[in-house]
């Protein structure tokens, strides 16, 4: 009982901390033009490599310092959050929709449907994901939508595998037979009885996937395959920061910290949500 | 010779609570004399399994013993250092579990699983342990011990697995065996064979058994003494013969009337009267109040 | 005219045997039911008893057509339902109801008790007056109306089984299969559930197949009994005949193995198999 209470406290704290960070980042992204202290693209060579506010030589209004072209780091991070969140939501939802649907079908109907879908997943997962993404973007051309499509195309298998297993477990429950006894058809049972019981897993996975999408987008920008280099992306900023690590460490460290916090928050938020709202979890 | 022998197990006034303060064992007292079978009967939530776990020292960490003593052949378990307690319990007691499948490690063969305990805890040599196990397998009427020792648990039927566990329990010559619903998962015909085996080995080895069950039928057949539990409280204790001849507590009576009997279908399967349950609730509340007063 | 509700001839069911499934390819079929012949008369409770592996649950599932027989035929209410496809079965489902062994698993954790009981009503064209019908079903099984809004984890084991009964009987079905419905319950709760089912079966004139491993329970509840072993019928007769004059040795063994709650010193002696 004690452990249960502690873990419940733990899950609540985790939910609030992760949710809080995500909310701040999301609001910043939505209201970026209002919140950002500077124009993220404005270059000023007089202001290059300003340190963050607590170090000597900092300029007011440039809280986290500037990069080698004199662009305000905080503003770039805030505008970068826009792209990160657009990619996170769009790619994760697309992957979720495809993967969960196929997983539900494979897990519930079994037989041939399962065999075909499972084989496709096996083959799909044999591709190294990052190389696959680079290849896809190379074919589709760089740009926001290519990044989103690439992530969805690669990562739907994650949903498919987990949801299939979960659905198979739920389908063995007597309530599924009970619904047949009540006169429901197969698809009705799948949607009405089974789906609500796999939703918590879908939600947790969705949140996790958003974090993964943020990382993949950062990787693609890092290798310059995301969107145009002018637009600030977290991965792009990290790539630039790497070049000036000895002169201006903050250009590398702040976007990295932002990225890690965001990805961690996505995964913790999903788990926390599941623990909190699943009446069946003991 | 006429001096009264020490009970094999003597539980005095044992109370245990959950972290939320709920008492799960309510001043339980019971004794198991050497070579005797005491049944512990009750419905789910009565705390019967909890008592067995307390004796074996395997209570879940959330359950805290707040009062009382447990004496194993006169030695107070509560006063021993944890290591000494484990050694004593390991040497003198054994468990026949409810579910023979989960009690065995699925990825190891039966043979080493059975000898392990004898070698590790009792420090026997491998050959001695092996010989002992074979002897016990013979006693539980396993005809081809060679094959069984080489099997993995899932390759045996439920009845066979339970035989193996009974053999393992008796192998170390424990003074006390805790049998936790050992036949609940079995078919009736297998249950009868297993009960018969337990009774026979118990007689031959003179082992005392604390037999946890929910089935009054099993109580009647296997035990000499019985304690009836409700909500962690012993509501009645008696010689088994006396209990069935003339149950005293209304709950015992109600339980007997609820137990199905094919010989008398319409006098059995009587739902428990609400008045009995109300009486029990009052009894428990009164006991708790009396208990809280000195304990703050 | 006393045509039986169920008339079963030569019923065989074969299921894939997963323990013998090869690494690649299909699992071989194992014959679970090996040709059964019996009738279930209308308006009475028939007990189906057997130990694990006897095929009694498979038989039940074949009767309500959760499984499709591999041979033989099953006549229900004058109609051959042996190989009816799911879509044609659906209109018959109303009359082929089932109460499950484990109410924890048979009630959807994410639905309220109201929704659980209402589902079969809606699905079978009884969606009008839903509130009143559910209220009546709850009342019939002795549950307070306030239970309608609860979830399965918020009620006790006995109450959950009452919900299972309410759901099955809400449709006033011609046939109800009760599969080990009390084996997970405490004796006191078991007695309550059985007396409830006994009362409702009599009041509603239900035809019930009552599957159980416990002959004592069967004797109380059933008018006739089918004893099964390893997929075949060992003995089938009227309850009193079966208990007073069991013809088969296996039936006698089953009876003798039941530990009655009474002192009998001879019971545990390694004695012959004759009943005491």
Please tell me the distance from the alpha carbon of residue C273 to that of residue C248, in angstroms, as a whole number.
12
pLDDT of residue C117: 95
Contact flag B266-C220 (C-beta cutoff 8 Å): yes
Which two three-digit tokens encode residue A77? 């991070």
With beta carbons under 8 A apart, name residues in chain B contacting C191.
258, 260, 269-272
Q: What is the mean pLDDT of chain B?
A: 92
Whether the per-residue pLDDT at B59 is higher than 50: the answer is yes
Q: How far apart are CA A43 and CA B19, in angstroms?
A: 63
Residue B41, chain C, CB below 8 Å: the answer is no
Residues C74-89: b if buried by 16+ CB within 10 A, e if exposed: bbbbeeebbebeeeeb
CA distance A5 to chain B (A): 10
Q: Which residues of B touch A3 (CB under 8 A)?
A: 61-62
Q: In the numeric block, which tokens belong to residue A40? A: 């993220």
Chain C's closest residue to B256, CA to CA, is C261
Q: Does the beta carbon of B274 lie under 8 angstroms from any beta carbon of chain C?
A: no
Q: Chain B residues with CB inside 8 Å of C214's CB? A: 188, 260
pLDDT at C273: 47
Neighbours of chain B (3+ CB pairs under 8 A): A, C
What is residue C274's predicted lDDT score, i.e. its pLDDT?
Answer: 44
Tally of residues, chain A: 282
Taking only the tens place, the pLDDT of each residue in C141-159 is: 999 999 999 999 999 999 9
B172-211 residue pLDDT tens: 899 999 999 999 989 999 999 999 999 999 999 999 999 9
List the subunits that have 3+ CB pairs under 8 angstroms with A: B, C
Q: Is residue B1 part of a domain?
A: no
B195 and chain C: CB distance < 8 Å anywhere?
yes
Q: What is the mean pLDDT of residues B87-96?
A: 92
pLDDT tens digits, residue range C163-219?
999 999 999 999 999 999 999 899 989 999 999 999 999 999 999 999 999 999 999
Judge whether B2 lies within some domain.
Answer: no
Least confident interval from B44-48, B68-72, B199-203, C63-67: B44-48
Please check whether residue B208 lies inside any domain of the structure: yes
Is the CB of residue C233 less than 8 Å from the CB of residue C48?
no
Please determine, for residue C272, whether its predicted confidence score (pLDDT) is greater than 70.
Answer: no
Interface contact flag, C101 A174, Cβ < 8 Å: yes
Of C218, C259, C269, the CB nearest to B217: C259
Q: Show residues of chain B in contact with A5, CB under 8 Å.
A: 19
Chain C CB contacts of A177 under 8 Å are 66, 98, 100, 106
Average pLDDT, integer, range A60-82: 85
The secondary structure element, H or E, covering residue C140 is helix C130-140
Q: Distances from the Cα of C19 to the Cαs of A98, B25, B154, C15, C16, in angstroms?
A: 34, 44, 11, 12, 9
What's the rounded Cα separation, in Å, for the pair B78 and A127? 61
Q: Topology of domain C6-20+28-257, per CATH?
A: Rossmann fold (3.40.50)
Chain centre distance of CA B284: 24
**Yes or no, beta carbons of B261 and C261 under 8 Å apart:** yes
- The B-side interface with A (CB below 8 A) comprises 18-20, 61-62
B271 located within any domain: yes
* A-interface mutation test, from B50, B62, B63, most A Cβ less than 10 A away: B62
C167 touches A at CB < 8 Å: yes
The confidence band for A263, taking pLDDT boundaries of 50, 70 and 90, is: very high
* A150 to chain C, closest Cα gap in Å: 34
Q: Supply the pLDDT for residue A218.
A: 87
What pTM did the predictor assign? 0.86
Output A67 or B250, whichever has higher pLDDT.
B250
Cα angle: B20, vertex B21, B24; to 5 degrees: 105
Query: Which pLDDT score, from 0 to 100, does residue A3 have?
Result: 45
Q: Tell me the average pLDDT across A248-260.
A: 89
Q: Give the mean pLDDT of B94-98.
A: 92
Asked if the Cβ–Cβ distance from C123 to A173 is below 8 Å, we say no
How many CB pairs (< 8 A) connect B and C? 113
The reported pLDDT for the residue numbered A2 is 44
HEC string for chain B:
CCCCCCCCEEEEEEEEECCCCCEEEEEEEEEECCCCEEEEECCCCCCHHHHHHHHHCCCCCCCEEEEEEEEECCEEHHHCCHHHHHHHHHHHEEEECCCCCCCCCCCCCHHHHHHHHHHHCCCCCHHHHHHHHHHHHHHCCCCCHHHHHHCCHHHCCHHHHHHHHHHHHHHCCCCEEEEECCCCCCCHHHHHHHHHHHHHHHHHHCCEEEEEECCHHHHHHHCCEEEEEECCEEEEEEEHHHHHHCCCCHHHHHHHHHCCCCCCCCCCCCCCCHHHHHHHHHHHHHHHHHHHHHHC
Res B116: pLDDT: 86
Mutation test of the interface with chain B: which of C261, C267, C268, choosing the one with the most B Cβ atoms within 10 A?
Answer: C261
Query: Does B258 score more than 80 pLDDT?
Result: yes
Cα torsion C63, C66, C69, C75 to 10°: value is: 40
Q: Under an 8 A CB cutoff, do C124 and A173 touch?
A: no
Q: Is C98's CB within 8 Å of A182's CB?
A: no
pLDDT at C275: 43
Q: What is the pLDDT of residue A7?
A: 57
d(CA C114, CA B190): 42
Residue C82 is predicted with a pLDDT of: 96
* Tens digits of residue pLDDT in B18-46: 988 889 999 999 999 999 999 999 998 89
Q: Average of pLDDT values for C15-32?
A: 82
Domain span at residue B88?
Answer: 9-295
Q: Which residues of B192-201 are buried (b: 16+ CB within 10 A; e: fewer)?
A: bbbbbbbbbb
Nearest CA in chain B to C258: B188
Residues C132-146 have a mean pLDDT of 95
- A-C C-beta contacts closer than 8 Å: 66
What pLDDT, on the 0 to 100 scale, is given for residue C163?
96
Q: What is the pLDDT at residue C50? A: 95
Q: What is the CATH number of the domain that holds B16?
A: 3.40.50.300
Task: Give yes or no for residue C108 having a pLDDT over 90.
Answer: yes
Beta-carbon count within 10 A of B103 CB: 18
Mean local confidence (pLDDT), B77-102? 90
Query: CA of B279: how far to CAs of A148, B29, B214, B226, in Å?
Result: 68, 21, 21, 21
Cβ neighbours of C64 in A, within 8 Å? 181
Interface of C with B (CB under 8 A): 51-52, 186-188, 190-192, 194-195, 213-220, 243, 253-264, 267-270
Model confidence pLDDT, tens digit, residues B145-165: 999 999 999 999 889 999 999
For residue A10, pLDDT beyond 70:
no
In chain C, the percentage of residues whose pLDDT exceeds 70 is 97
Question: Residue C233 is encoded by which pair of tokens?
Answer: 């019928």
Q: What average pLDDT is seen over chain A?
A: 86
User: For chain A, how far is it from start to end, CA to CA, in angstroms?
Assistant: 11
On the question of pLDDT at A46 being above 90, the answer is no
Tell whether B42 is covered by a domain.
yes
CATH of domain A2-277: 1.10.3720.10
The answer for residues whose C-beta is within 8 angstroms of residue B18's C-beta and 6 or more apart is A1, B24, B62, B63, B64
Q: Closest CB to A175: pick one of C94, C108, C153.
A: C108
Rounded Cα distance, A18 and A16, in Å: 6
pLDDT higher than 50, residue A159: yes
Across A143-157, B213-227, B262-276, which has the greatest mean pLDDT? B213-227
In chain C, whose CA is at the least distance from the CA of B251?
A: C188
For chain A, give every domain's residue range: 2-277
Mutation for C interface: B191, B265, B272, B275, most C CBs within 10 A: B265
Residues of A in contact with C86 (CB under 8 A): 185-186
ipTM surpasses cut 0.85: yes
């Amino acid at each position: 009982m004690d452990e249960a209470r502690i873990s419940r406290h733990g899950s609540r704290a985790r939910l609030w901390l992760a949710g809080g960070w995500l909310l701040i980042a999301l609001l910043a992204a939505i209201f970026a033009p209002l919140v950002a202290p500077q124009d993220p693209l404005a270059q000023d060579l007089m202001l290059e490599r300003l340190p963050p506010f607590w170090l000597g030589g900092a300029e007011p209004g440039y809280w986290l310092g500037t990069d080698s072209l004199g662009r305000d780091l905080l503003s770039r991070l805030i505008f970068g959050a826009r792209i990160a969140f657009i990619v996170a939501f769009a790619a994760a939802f697309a992957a979720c929709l495809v993967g969960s649907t196929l997983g539900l079908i494979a897990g519930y109907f079994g037989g041939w449907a399962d065999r075909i879908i499972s084989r496709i997943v096996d083959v799909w997962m044999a591709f190294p994901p990052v190389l696959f993404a680079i290849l896809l973007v190379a074919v589709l051309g760089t740009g926001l939508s290519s990044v989103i499509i690439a992530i969805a195309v690669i990562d739907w298998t994650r949903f498919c595998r987990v949801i299939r297993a979960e659905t198979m477990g739920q389908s063995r429950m007597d309530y599924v037979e009970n619904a047949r006894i009540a006169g429901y058809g197969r698809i009705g049972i799948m949607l009405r009885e089974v789906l609500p019981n796999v939703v918590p897993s879908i939600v947790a996975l969705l949140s996790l996937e958003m974090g993964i999408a943020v990382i993949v987008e950062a990787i693609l920008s890092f290798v310059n395959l995301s969107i145009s280099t002018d637009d600030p992306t977290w991965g792009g900023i990290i790539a630039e920061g790497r070049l000036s690590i000895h002169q201006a460490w903050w250009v590398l460290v702040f976007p990295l910290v932002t990225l890690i916090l965001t990805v961690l928050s996505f995964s913790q938020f999903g788990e926390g949500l599941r623990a909190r709202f699943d009446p069946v979890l003991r | 010779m006429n001096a009264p022998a020490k009970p094999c197990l003597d539980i005095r006034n044992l109370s245990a609570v959950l972290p939320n303060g709920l008492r799960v064992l309510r001043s339980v007292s019971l004794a198991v004399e050497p070579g005797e079978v005491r049944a512990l009967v009750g419905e789910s939530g009565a705390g019967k399994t909890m008592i067995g776990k307390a004796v074996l020292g395997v209570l879940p960490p959330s359950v805290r013993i707040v009062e009382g003593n447990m004496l194993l052949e006169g030695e107070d378990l509560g006063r021993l250092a944890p290591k000494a307690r484990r050694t004593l319990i390991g040497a003198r007691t054994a468990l026949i579990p409810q579910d023979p499948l989960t009690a065995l490690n699925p990825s190891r063969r039966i043979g080493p699983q059975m000898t392990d305990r004898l070698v590790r805890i009792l420090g026997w040599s491998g050959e001695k342990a092996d010989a002992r196990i074979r002897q016990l397998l013979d006693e539980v009427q396993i005809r081809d011990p060679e094959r069984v020792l080489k099997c993995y648990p899932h390759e045996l039927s439920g009845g066979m697995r339970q035989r193996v566990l009974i053999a393992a329990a008796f192998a170390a010559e424990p003074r006390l065996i805790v049998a936790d619903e050992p036949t609940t998962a079995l078919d009736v015909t297998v249950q009868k064979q297993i009960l018969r085996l337990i009774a026979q080995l118990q007689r031959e080895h003179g082992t005392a058994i604390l037999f946890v069950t929910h089935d009054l039928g099993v109580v009647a057949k296997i035990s000499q003494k019985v304690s009836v539990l409700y909500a962690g409280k012993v509501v009645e204790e008696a010689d088994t013969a006396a209990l069935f001849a003339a149950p005293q507590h209304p709950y015992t009576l109600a339980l007997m009337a609820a137990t199905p009997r094919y010989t008398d279908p319409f006098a059995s399967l009587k739902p428990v009267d609400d008045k009995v349950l109300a009486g029990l609730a009052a009894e428990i509340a009164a006991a708790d109040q009396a208990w809280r007063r000195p304990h703050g | 005219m006393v045509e039986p509700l169920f008339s079963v001839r030569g019923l065989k069911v074969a299921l894939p045997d997963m323990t013998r499934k090869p690494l690649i390819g299909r699992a071989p079929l194992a014959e679970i039911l090996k040709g059964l012949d019996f009738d279930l008369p209308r308006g009475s409770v028939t007990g189906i008893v057997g130990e694990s592996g006897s095929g009694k649950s498979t038989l039940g599932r074949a009767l309500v057509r959760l499984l499709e027989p591999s041979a033989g035929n099953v006549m229900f209410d004058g109609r051959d339902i042996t190989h009816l496809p799911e879509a044609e079965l659906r209109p018959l489902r109303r009359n082929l109801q089932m109460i499950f062994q484990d109410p924890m698993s048979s009630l959807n954790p994410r639905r309220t008790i109201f929704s659980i009981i209402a589902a079969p009503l809606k699905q079978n064209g009884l969606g009008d007056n839903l509130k009143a019908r559910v209220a009546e079903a709850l009342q019939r099984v002795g549950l307070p109306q306030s239970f309608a809004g609860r979830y399965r984890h918020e009620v006790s084991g006995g109450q959950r089984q009452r919900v299972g009964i309410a759901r099955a009987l809400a449709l006033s079905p011609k046939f109800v299969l009760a599969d080990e419905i009390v084996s997970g319950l405490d004796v006191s709760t078991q007695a309550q559930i059985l007396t409830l089912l006994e009362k409702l079966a009599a009041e509603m004139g239900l035809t019930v197949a009552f599957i159980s491993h416990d002959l004592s329970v069967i004797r109380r509840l059933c008018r006739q009994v089918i004893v099964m072993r390893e997929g075949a019928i060992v003995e089938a007769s009227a309850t009193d005949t079966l208990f007073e004059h069991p013809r088969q040795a296996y039936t006698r063994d089953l009876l003798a193995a039941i530990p009655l709650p009474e002192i009998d010193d001879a019971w545990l002696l390694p004695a012959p198999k004759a009943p005491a």
